[in-house]
Amino acid sequence: PPPPVRSPAPAPEPVTYRVGRLRYDAFGDHTGPELRLGGSDWVWRRHGPAVGGTRYEDGITVHSRSSVTIDLNRECSAYRALVGVDDMSRGLGSARFSVWADGVRLWRSPVVEGGDPAVAVRVDVAGRSVIRLVTEASRPSGALVPVDWAEARIDCAGG
C-alpha cells in the first residue's frame, strides 16, 4: 500500500488582545502585546466607557493630548477601536486621533467633538513591532479632556 499522506498541522487560531487588559511591559512576559510603561502617558483601563451616548464594553481613556505605546512582541495583523470624546466631558472638548506603527502614521481621524458618535478605526499592523496611539487636542485649552479608545483590540497570530 502507498504510505499515508500526512496533512500539515493546522495553523494556530488567531488571538485577540483587549488593549484595556494588557499588562505593562515591566510586569509582562513579552510574549504578547504590552503597554510600554516608560513610553506612555496616563492611561485609565476601563469597563464601560461611553462616547456619543453609547456605552462600550471596555477600552482605555486618556487625556486629549497623549501618547500610548504598545509593544506587539509577536506577529499581529490589525488594530481596531472606536474612538471619541468620553461622555463624562459633558459634550465639551474635541480631539483628533491617530495610530502610528514603527514611526509611521497609518491612520488619522477627523476632529471628533464631544457628543459625536464614536469613529471606527481598523489599521493593518502586519510586519510592525510597535503601535503608538496618539490623541491631539484640537483647541489649546482642551488638553485634559477625557477621550476613549473604546473596544480597542489587537488581532495577532496564535501560538
Mean pLDDT over all residues of the chain?
93
Mean pLDDT computed over 84-110: 95
Mean pLDDT computed over 46-57: 97
For residue 142, pLDDT beyond 90: no
Mean pLDDT computed over 131-150: 87
Give the pLDDT score at 1: 77
For residue 140, pLDDT beyond 70: no
Written as one string, the DSSP assignment of the chain is -PPPPPPPPPPPPPEEEEGGGPPBGGGS-SSS-EE-GGG----EEEES-EETTEE-SEEEEEESSEEEEEE--S-EEEEEEEEEEBGGGTT--EEEEEEEETTEEEEE---EETTPPPEEEEEE-TT-SEEEEEEEESSGGGTT-EEEEEEEEEEE---
Give the pLDDT score at 8: 78
Mean pLDDT computed over 105-120: 97
Domains of the chain: 15-156 (2.60.120.1060)
pLDDT level of residue 141 (50, 70, 90 thresholds): low
User: 4 vs 124, which has greater pLDDT?
Assistant: 124
